[in-house]
């Protein structure tokens, strides 16, 4: 089956057999959701609060985060989330956010690597001059995970938090559209000389998004494998939340994507289903290091996803990028 066809058929999944209402009680669990102020992240936090988890909403804008927390309190019966400022486009800010979280919590039960960008302005770069899409979706999240990983390992072995810590990577079926393997040369861009220092912008924005989603699946599989080899009680699962009607296409004027969003995409509440299943379901433990597609079904991602050599190449590249912030 061709990879583009794989991407297409994801638009028409069968009816879900699991819902967030099936989650167990999460009292005592500490959960962190990046990009929790809108879209899928917001929906996940709402369900997590209803199941009594202590949830941190990590987002760049304190104003938007505060507004989201007020809305969550109204929609979850008076339960509230905690705000954590996190700017994934600046590695120094990522480090500061992780340090702040470590001051507030001694452990972390569930980490949702959910925040993401698609179709940013083509000239936009992160503070460290990475392509904005890869910088936020991959590099920033990698550093955040590396800094929080000790808290995932320091969970109590008994009491209110049984079971392994879980990392859920909110990827996408866009991973199928990467031709071949990751192209690291496209992850950074340089400025041209001149009075106005104009930026080279001949970049395939959707292609960068697809690469970032494949990179997340590769990293998830590698984390799961290394944790298993080290005897660490950590589960890592990558998920495709489905074709969801959120604000992910806000940066594009493409008629195709606008039409797709209007006619094919599902309500955002559906997007929370698969990540929440991966994070809380006992059955999901069987998919450690694997890939779940909409709605909470096992799937087979891009062929490069489980290539160990490519996983190690990605990890080595990422480690080199964040070494000054560890």
- The catalytic residue among 46, 51, 54, 213 is 213
User: With 80 as the cut, is the pLDDT of residue 311 above it?
Assistant: yes
Contact between 292 and 299 under an 8 Å Cβ cutoff? The reply is yes
- The catalytic residue among 38, 171, 172, 236 is 171
User: With 90 as the cut, is the pLDDT of residue 265 above it?
Assistant: no
Q: CA-to-CA distance for 87 and 178, rounded, in angstroms?
A: 27
Instruction: Scan for tokens 């486009």, then name that residue.
Output: 89
Contact between 18 and 281 under an 8 Å Cβ cutoff? The reply is yes
What is the structure's pLDDT at 323?
A: 98
- The catalytic residue among 130, 149, 176, 209 is 209
| CB neighbourhood size of 6 (10 A) | 18
pTM score of the predicted model? 0.91
Phi and psi torsions of 173, nearest 5°: -70, -5
In the annotation, is 220 catalytic?
Answer: no
* Nearest of 186, 235, 194, 191 to residue 215 by alpha carbon: 186
What is the structure's pLDDT at 191?
A: 46
In the annotation, is 46 catalytic?
Answer: no
User: With 60 as the cut, is the pLDDT of residue 255 above it?
Assistant: no
Give the pLDDT band of residue 302 (cuts 50, 70, 90): very high
Structural domains in the chain, CATH included, are 3-319 (3.40.50.720)
pLDDT digits (tens, 9 = 90+) for 198-247: 444 456 888 999 999 999 999 999 999 999 999 999 999 999 999 887 66
Contact between 159 and 111 under an 8 Å Cβ cutoff? The reply is no
How many residues would you count in the chain?
326
In the annotation, is 15 catalytic?
Answer: no
């Amino acid at each position: 089956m061709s990879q583009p066809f794989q991407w297409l058929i994801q638009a028409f999944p069968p009816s879900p057999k699991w819902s967030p209402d099936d989650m167990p009680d999460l009292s005592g669990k500490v959960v962190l959701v990046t990009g929790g102020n809108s879209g899928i992240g917001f929906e996940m936090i709402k369900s997590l609060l209803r199941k009594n988890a202590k949830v941190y909403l990590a987002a760049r804008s304190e104003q938007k985060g505060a507004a989201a927390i007020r809305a969550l309190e109204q929609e979850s019966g008076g339960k509230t989330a905690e705000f954590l400022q996190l700017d994934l486009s600046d590695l120094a800010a990522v480090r500061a956010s992780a340090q702040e979280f470590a001051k507030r919590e001694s452990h972390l039960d569930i980490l949702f690597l959910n925040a993401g960008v698609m179709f940013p302005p083509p000239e936009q770069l992160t503070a460290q001059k990475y392509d904005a899409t890869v910088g936020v979706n991959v590099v920033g999240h990698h550093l955040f995970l590396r800094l929080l990983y000790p808290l995932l390992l320091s969970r109590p072995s008994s009491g209110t938090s049984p079971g392994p810590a879980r990392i859920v990577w909110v990827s996408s079926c866009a991973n199928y559209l990467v031709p071949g393997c990751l192209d690291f040369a496209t992850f950074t861009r340089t400025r041209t000389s001149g009075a106005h220092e104009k930026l080279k912008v001949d970049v395939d924005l959707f292609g960068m998004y697809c690469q970032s989603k494949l990179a997340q699946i590769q990293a998830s599989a590698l984390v799961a494998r290394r944790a298993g080899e080290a005897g660490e009680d950590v589960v890592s699962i990558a998920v495709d939340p489905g074709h969801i009607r959120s604000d992910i296409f806000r940066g594009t004027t493409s008629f195709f994507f606008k039409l797709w969003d209007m006619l094919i995409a599902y309500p955002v509440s559906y997007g929370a289903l698969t990540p929440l299943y991966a994070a809380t379901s006992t059955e999901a433990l069987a998919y450690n290091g694997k890939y779940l597609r909409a709605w909470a079904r096992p799937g087979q991602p891009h062929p490069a996803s489980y290539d160990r050599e490519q996983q190690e190449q990605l990890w080595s590249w990422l480690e080199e990028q964040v070494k000054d912030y560890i």
